[in-house]
Amino acid sequence: MVAASKLVHGLKLSSVVPAKIAGDNRARELTGLDLAVKLHYLRGVYFFHSTAEDVPLRIESLKEPMFRWLETSYPAAGRIRRAEGRASGGGGRPFVKCNDGGVRIVEARSEKTVDEWLAMEDHANIDGKVLAYDQVLGPDLGFTPLVFVQFTWFKCGGMSVGLSWAHVLGDLFSASSFMNMWGRVMAGHASPSPNSTIDGAAPTSRPPRSTAIVVSSLRQVEPVGDHWITTSNRTTMRTHTFHVTSHRVCGVLPPNGNCPSCFYVLSALLWKCISKIRGVDWPRAVTVVCSGSSYDRCYLPGNHMTVGTVEAGDSPVSVSDVAELASWMEKHTVSENQRIEEMAGRDGSGKPSDYILYGSNLTFVDLEYADIYGLELKGQKPAYASYTIHGVGDEGVILILPCKGVAGVGKRGMNGWTITVTLPGNEGLELEKEIK
């Protein structure tokens, strides 16, 4: 296997800024949920084949619509700053200064074809590190872009578009909507009118709370200061992707009666399989992350998901009935959003602290409604698209995504689901074998 660093070459970096100045007084205060995911990063990669009549897109035609689109989604072009007032553990409360710093553009080339790349056995493990620029925020926090977009041209004439997105800016729905709207603006559609609901001066630091708060879905890590990356993993995490058919899901459901949602059925099935793999170390509690009610409502990015935890019942999960376990998860998942907001980047005693969300427990993420195939270039949809989460803790994360062309109400599950896992060692491969 060729080293990942050798698979692409000729990297060139540039920047795109909003076509119009956002103004000196625009700032976006970060919520407690924003701060809870500040050490996580989203990586999206879209693959496009070349057709016989295609004229390869030039970098100028790819960048030009971004100038206009960033007028609307101007927080993506901002930079992290800290509020006035010093506190222990790295300074005042962070916020996004909408200062038109810009989005970083990366150009790269590969000697492989799109089909050759997708045929690589472990491409899922390297896509988000090679085809999406592998950058974290800091240590020069105020100068690091929140968003990188990488264009990689393959020798066949096809290309990939890679997105590196700081999770503190918004969830996966925000990230994929950002990319989809860029494609629409490129196709000649009008850019939405800018929303001014986040205009305002920089926030001031908040006083610590005196009451202790416990949030089961978060794991505290060593303070990171202005370099937003965690190195707390005890094991090597690997990403793997596989397909689960609708037939496999239907096979574990009772023929009659009320059935849980497909997301909970899949989560229960995967939880049971992982419990078998891990044996005595099976996960007794898991975290569930679902899209919030406002995921489709605006063009400004944000973290709108709901976060909850659920503990297993009296029986070991490895011997549980999947349908019963799914119903248990759906009924007993306890939302922790309010407690996360109350913590707002502090530990239980009120001192500034840092956390990870994904992988603190085994984490299931519901992305069935995410329109990750909504990006169009010259009228062509991606041949394949994927998203991953970086900065995952040792318990791992499982993303439940739609298959190509089946996102949206009434279409979910028609062709099954794409399961993207980031788990310790070879657990991803073992999970695929176990679930078949």
Domain-embedded: residue 26: yes
**Given a cut of 80, is residue 223 above it in pLDDT?**
yes
Domain-embedded: residue 198: no
**Could you tell me if 155 and 226 lie in one domain?**
no
**Given a cut of 80, is residue 406 above it in pLDDT?**
no
**Could you tell me if 127 and 265 lie in one domain?**
no
**Could you tell me if 281 and 176 lie in one domain?**
no
Domain region containing 181: 7-186
The pLDDT assigned to 197 comes to: 46
The total domain count for the chain is: 2
- pLDDT tens-digit profile of 11-57? 999 999 998 887 667 899 999 999 999 999 999 999 999 865 666 67
Which of 186, 204, 230 is the last residue before a domain boundary? 186
Domain-embedded: residue 211: no
**Could you tell me if 178 and 224 lie in one domain?**
no
Domain-embedded: residue 299: yes
Measured distance CA(209)–CA(434) in Å, rounded? 46
- pLDDT tens-digit profile of 324-340? 999 999 999 999 999 99
CATH number reported for the structural domain that contains residue 410 in this entry: 3.30.559.10
The pLDDT assigned to 408 comes to: 40
Domain-embedded: residue 200: no
**Could you tell me if 36 and 108 lie in one domain?**
yes
**Could you tell me if 424 and 310 lie in one domain?**
yes
Domain-embedded: residue 213: no
pLDDT class for 353, splitting at 50, 70, 90? Answer: confident
Residue 134 vs residue 193, higher pLDDT: 134
Nearest to 388 by CA among 5, 7, 126: 126
**Could you tell me if 248 and 344 lie in one domain?**
yes
Mean predicted lDDT score pLDDT of the chain: 87
- pLDDT tens-digit profile of 171-181? 999 999 999 99
**Could you tell me if 82 and 176 lie in one domain?**
yes
**Could you tell me if 182 and 292 lie in one domain?**
no
**Could you tell me if 227 and 181 lie in one domain?**
no
Which of 142, 161, 186 is the last residue before a domain boundary? 186
pLDDT class for 415, splitting at 50, 70, 90? Answer: confident
Domain-embedded: residue 279: yes
**Given a cut of 50, is residue 391 above it in pLDDT?**
yes
- pLDDT tens-digit profile of 82-91? 987 544 445 6
pLDDT class for 350, splitting at 50, 70, 90? Answer: low
Domain-embedded: residue 277: yes
Which of 163, 186, 209 is the last residue before a domain boundary? 186
**Could you tell me if 236 and 121 lie in one domain?**
no
**Could you tell me if 170 and 301 lie in one domain?**
no
